[in-house]
Each structure stands twice: as structure tokens, then as C-alpha cells.
């Protein structure tokens, strides 16, 4: 039973070495085990063919590997791939591969469900069930990387922690997963190709600064005045814009990294030039770029997609204030893989939502 075993992928290389030496094995075997776990993506100990049969059996008696399983996969007309992954206990999370002409991005989840209840987000309708382990996070990247290379003959260029869950509420495992993705013993990707997105938890943004992280930080802003932001994001009640601006300044001071502001634009809610002015004013708190994101409707949502001419006028105003702005058009909408839609139509997740009600 795995509940009596230790998850070996929660251990560092030195911790695995210590366990092996306690078992009477040579310490150098730890590196072999570690490479099987993180470079060769072993799903069980029997696959570790460079180890003796007795050692593989010992490992299997003491440890388990928390490997995720593909539950379902859909491919959009624009080549976006949405994957539902089983993470045990009948729980499912989703990851998305987004190929474009300039990059191929893996959008991955950090939690099963979410505790923040943002009104525009399908995942926000789920309760938080548990954090994902570092291994479960990395597995999503590995699977989507293999899809990019095998199906589209292109390398995975970017990773965004923008799937299900709030990454900074799973801080330890998220940072551990980044370490594994960027290390030579892992996938060897540059941290500058990784972006962690947060709904805005000021003290954890400061902690990122204290830890001097090398990856990029994105803030899901969506409104630049407290009344509107609190209407759509409860987290703003305890982490208001002034507190976030202060935390972002601290983060930038510690890391010298530019921040990305994500702004989903909703019809007749935050799409006016006055909203753009507030956004431009707030964005000046740190060096930044701004992504204006097309809204993707979910069932029974109070919001609608903003008119294209308003989106263009909004972006033009931001640009006129000497700020870097990009308009992100939706991808994967036909399979509910676009921003804010994860969990929207997945049958296993919908069943979980009914159970929780």
C-alpha cells in the first residue's frame, strides 16, 4: 500500500543517497535512481534496468513513484492539446499544450481544484482538494513536451503555471518542480522560459523575492481598482492593490525581473478607457509588460467577451502610455482549453463538482 511507503520523488538526491546507504547499498546508486526518476521518466522501479534486481525489489518495498496517468486528451482545430491527468484518489487535473508559430507552451496545473473562487474561472468553482506534488507537476511538463516533439516535431519552448490552482499556495512543491525542470539532472530548461502566475498573495510574492527566484512572475490583475477587482476576485479583499504594488516593488528590487500583468477584458465591466487609464497607472509600479486576454465564457457566467474594437482601443491607450502591451487571442476554445476554461467540460471534474455541492 502506498500510504505506508515513501514517495521517492519527494526526496532530494542526497536524501536518496542516505536511504540507499542505510539499506547497505553504494551511495553512487543514488544518482542512477535520480536519473531514472527525472531524466528517463521511469514510472516504476522495474524499469530501472541499470540497477540489480534485488535493489529494484528493495526500492519497491520501501518507496512509490507518484506518476500521473493520462485520463483523456482532446485536440483543437488550432492544434492546441488539452490533457486530463489522473493524479490518484479519482482526482483529475488538466494541462494544455499551446503551439503557435513563435513558441510552444505547456500550461500546467499546481493544485487539484482551487480555493480562490474567482468568478470568471471554471476551476474557481471547484473546492481545493489537495496540492500537487513536485513530481506530479513535472509529469505534466514531460507529457506535454513529448507531445510537442512527437506530434508537432517542435521543442517545448515555454512553461506557464497558469492551469488549475494557485501556485503560490503550493509554494514548496512549485519551487521544487521548477528546480527539477531547470536542473541538469532534470529537463535542463532555462528558468527565463518559465512563468509562474498568481492571483495576488502579497506575502508570497515577497517570499519569491527573498528566495531570489530566476523564473518570471505574472500577476492576474483583471481590474486596477479595488472595488472591481474584489467583485471578481475575493483574494483582493485581503490583498488589495496597494499591498500588491508594494510586494511587486520588493520582488523587482530583489530579482531585477520584469513582471507580467494579465488582464482579462470583459464586456461592459473593465473594457473602458477609464479602466485602461487605471491599469496604466497601476502598471507603473514596476517594470512590466501587459497581456490583454480575450475572455472565454464558461457556463452560467455573468461575463461576456468584450467587443474587438473596444479591446483594440484599450490596448492602443495602454501603448500610448509607453507600456509594453500584447493582446492574447484565445486558443483551444473549441475544447474548453482556453484561459479560465479548465475544468469546464471535463466529465470527471464535473462529477467531482457535483459531489462537492
Q: Are 110 and 166 a contacting pair, CB within 8 Å? A: yes
**Residue reference for cell 531524466:** 39
Query: Which of the following is catalytic: 25, 83, 94, 136?
Result: 94
What is the chain's Cα-based Rg?
21
What letter does residue 83 receive in the DSSP assignment?
E
Q: How many residues does the chain have?
A: 357
Cα dihedral sign for 129, 109, 94, 122?
positive
Any alpha helices (H) in 39-188, and if so which ranges? 53-62, 134-152, 171-182
> How far are the Cα atoms of 105, 144, 297, 342 from residue 108, in angstroms, in the given order?
10, 9, 20, 10
Cα dihedral sign for 141, 104, 297, 240?
positive
117 CA to centre of own chain: 17
**Residue reference for cell 479583499:** 237
Note if 339 is an active site residue. yes
What letter does residue 234 receive in the DSSP assignment?
G
Cell numbers representing residue 28 in the block? 553512487
Residue 348: HSE in the Cβ half-sphere, 13 Å Cα cutoff: 18
Note if 184 is an active site residue. no
Q: Are 70 and 139 a contacting pair, CB within 8 Å? A: no
**How many beta carbons lie within 10 A of that of residue 273, not counting itself?**
12
Cell numbers representing residue 202 in the block? 502579497
Query: Which of the following is catalytic: 83, 285, 339, 352?
Result: 339
The helix (run of H) or strand (run of E) holding residue 231 is: helix 226-232
Q: Which residues are catalytic?
A: 94, 339
Amino acid at each position: 500500500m502506498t500510504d505506508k511507503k515513501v514517495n521517492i520523488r519527494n526526496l532530494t538526491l542526497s536524501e536518496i543517497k542516505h536511504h540507499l546507504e542505510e539499506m547497505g547499498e553504494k551511495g553512487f546508486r543514488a544518482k542512477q535512481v535520480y536519473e531514472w526518476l527525472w531524466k528517463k521518466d521511469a514510472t516504476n522501479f522495474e524499469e530501472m534496468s541499470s540497477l540489480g534486481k534485488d535493489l529494484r525489489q528493495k526500492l519497491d518495498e520501501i518507496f512509490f513513484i507518484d506518476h500521473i496517468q493520462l485520463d483523456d486528451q482532446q485536440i483543437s482545430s488550432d492544434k492546441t492539446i488539452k490533457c486530463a491527468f489522473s493524479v490518484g484518489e479519482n482526482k483529475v487535473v488538466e494541462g494544455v499544450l499551446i503551439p503557435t508559430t513563435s513558441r510552444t507552451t505547456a500550461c500546467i496545473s499546481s493544485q487539484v481544484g482551487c480555493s480562490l473562487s474567482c468568478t470568471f474561472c471554471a476551476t474557481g468553482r471547484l473546492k481545493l482538494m489537495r496540492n500537487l506534488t513536485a513530481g506530479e507537476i513535472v509529469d505534466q511538463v514531460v507529457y506535454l513536451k513529448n507531445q510537442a516533439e512527437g506530434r508537432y516535431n517542435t521543442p517545448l519552448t515555454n512553461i506557464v503555471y497558469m492551469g488549475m490552482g494557485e501556485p503560490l499556495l503550493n509554494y514548496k512543491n512549485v519551487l521544487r518542480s521548477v528546480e527539477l525542470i531547470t536542473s541538469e539532472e532534470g529537463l535542463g530548461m532555462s528558468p527565463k522560459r518559465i512563468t509562474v502566475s498568481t492571483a495576488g498573495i502579497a506575502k508570497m510574492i515577497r517570499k519569491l523575492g527573498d528566495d531570489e527566484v530566476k523564473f518570471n512572475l505574472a500577476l492576474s490583475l483583471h481590474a486596477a481598482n479595488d472595488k472591481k477587482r474584489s467583485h471578481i476576485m475575493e483574494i483582493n479583499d485581503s490583498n488589495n492593490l496597494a499591498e500588491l504594488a508594494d510586494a511587486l516593488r520588493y520582488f523587482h528590487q530583489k530579482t531585477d525581473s520584469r513582471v507580467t500583468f494579465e488582464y482579462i477584458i470583459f464586456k461592459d465591466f473593465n473594457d473602458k478607457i477609464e479602466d485602461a487609464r487605471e491599469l496604466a497607472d497601476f502598471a507603473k509600479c514596476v517594470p512590466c509588460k501587459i497581456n490583454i486576454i480575450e475572455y472565454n465564457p464558461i457556463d452560467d457566467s455573468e461575463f461576456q467577451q468584450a467587443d474587438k474594437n473596444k479591446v483594440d482601443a484599450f490596448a492602443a491607450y495602454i501603448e500610448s502610455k509607453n507600456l509594453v502591451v500584447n493582446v492574447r487571442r484565445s486558443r483551444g476554445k473549441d475544447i474548453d482549453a482556453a484561459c479560465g476554461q479548465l475544468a469546464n467540460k471535463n466529465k470527471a471534474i464535473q462529477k467531482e463538482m457535483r459531489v462537492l455541492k
